[in-house]
Amino acid sequence: MSWAIALVLGLFISLISISTAQLQVGFYQNSCPNAESIVTSVVRQATLSDPTIPAALLRLHFHDCIVQGCEGSILIRSPATGNLEKDSPNHAGLRGLEVIDSAKAQLESQCPGTVSCADIVALAARDSITMTQGPQYDVPTGRRDGRVSNIADANNMPQVREPINVLRSKFAAKGLSEKDLVLLSAAHTIGTTACFFVENRLYSFSTNSQSDPSINPGFLPELQAQCPQNGNVNVRIPLDRGSGNTFDINILRNIRSGFAVIESDAALYQDDSTRAVVDSYFGLFDDLFGSSFEEDFAASMVKMGSIGVRTGSDGEIRRARFLKKLVKMGFGLD
């Protein structure tokens, strides 16, 4: 981590700690000194086996935080109720839970009942960014796990086809700014999406246009070749054209140039306010006097990671193995 990133995040985290009280960098330093290194090791091994895991873990953190807050409710499982948060169509395709399980099992072995699942998710997302050449940053920890999981809680999640004003409103409801909306959307610098989420832009965008006019004309046939009309909607394509496995600013460059893959990313450049945020990282003097994309992204991740956290006596430290045993016995969870 550069001294600049460390300084900016140090100041930012100090402000966050005022509002979240017991979240702090190094929370497990005494109670479980190897907690963060264990999570890092598990994420590294998972990434070596499956290079798509970092994007999955980053998405998992967002989906956990943006619903009821960063309290691990997305992980709660019970025997086929169909009514848990994880069962929502808005969470379709979430992966990486086995990585969280693996880290939790190792942590329970070393430090029983100490490290929350919510913290593991936040740390795994940070490590996923680092392992795809993104910025290193400190994650304040000390989250407790929530006890409630309800499918209805995920009904109001941001959607890829929603207008920018709706996305802005949903982010604001979680205490996130327009700048956070742009930066957290830039997490699409790694990962893929299914043709299902793209076909509307390509073939039936509006009554007056068969394709989204914001798509660069040179990019349209490329997308249509990857996602042919009436083709397999489950085919996966990179979200960041030309740089889908590396965390970098190329995603914002693509958005500026009409190479955004999904509608919500493209919308960032159709609105004056969010366009200004995107453009702010490409000015002539921004490299010298402006803020760094990497610094700002890390700050937005820390900010998102503080949404609705439970600390102290609020919530619990979930014991993964004990919960799995209950599942096998046929009992519900939480």
Q: Which residues are catalytic?
A: 63
CB count in 10 Å sphere of residue 276: 12
Q: Is 71 marked within a binding site?
A: no
Q: Is 271 marked within a binding site?
A: no
C-alpha 28/C-alpha 252 separation (Å) is 36
Q: Is 67 marked within a binding site?
A: yes
C-alpha 179/C-alpha 67 separation (Å) is 19
Output the DSSP codes for 109-141: HHSTTTS-HHHHHHHHHHHHHHHTT-------B
Q: Is 240 marked within a binding site?
A: yes
Q: Is 286 marked within a binding site?
A: no
Q: Which residues neighbour 20 within 8 Å (Cβ) at sequence distance 6 or greater?
A: 140, 306, 309, 311
| Cα–Cα separations (whole angstroms), residue 222 to 194, 202, 244, 305 | 15, 11, 15, 36
Q: Is 180 marked within a binding site?
A: no
Q: Is 158 marked within a binding site?
A: yes
Contact 146, 71 (CB under 8 A): yes
Q: Which residues neighbour 171 within 8 Å (Cβ) at sequence distance 6 or greater?
A: 158, 177, 178, 180, 181, 184
Q: Is 292 marked within a binding site?
A: no
Q: Is 238 marked within a binding site?
A: no
Q: Is 73 marked within a binding site?
A: yes
Contact 69, 150 (CB under 8 A): no
Known binding-site residue numbers for heme b:
188
Known binding-site residue numbers for substrate:
158
Known binding-site residue numbers for Ca(2+):
64, 67, 69, 73, 85, 189, 240, 248
Known binding-site residue numbers:
64, 67, 69, 73, 85, 158, 188-189, 240, 248
